[in-house]
Structure 1
Amino acid sequence: MLEELKEEAIVNKVGGRFKLSTLIQKRLVQLNRGSRPLVDNNSDDKMEIVIQEILQDKIYLTTNGELKVISETADLGELLDLDSSDL
């Protein structure tokens, strides 16, 4: 087992063990379908890549359980999942 999964920090970062397992599963599906890793990691272990993406705040789950990727060009509205009509 990866050492990072034994720590509560990653569990707290995503909001609980269920959300963590959901996030990992959804991202692993994307990677297995050919998505590129969002982190520089020389590992072929996709689980290790996903854990690093979580720890580096590259991916998260929305309130309705969708996987979102944070791009470096994302604006604040995208990160907060806001629409201008919400204001």
Structure 2
Amino acid sequence: MVWSYWRAVIRYGHVGKGKEISVARYLVMPDYFMMVDVMTVINEMPGTKKRAMTSLRKIDYTEYLEGLRAEKENFFLQRLFEGKEAL
């Protein structure tokens, strides 16, 4: 299967009353996914706000790998996924 890679800046809630945090996420989707399909997936992610996506663009594989490394160092994402590795 052929894949496409995306960089999305997503607004997350649950960081205090009326507050939010924006985090860059790096996603891999099937190649036939269009931008609208990726937006639908993002809006269904847990912890996201309504109209969660701030920006979205298609990237290449090397930028995707660099982004995954950055995600692993992001404290907010570490807390968000805490305990979900066992699933």
TM range (shorter): under 0.3
Larger strand proportion, structure 1 or 2? 2
The structure, 1 or 2, with the larger RCO (C-alpha pairs under 8 Å, 6+ apart) is 2
Larger helix proportion, structure 1 or 2? 1
Q: TM (normalized to structure 2)?
A: 0.25
Q: TM (normalized to structure 1)?
A: 0.25
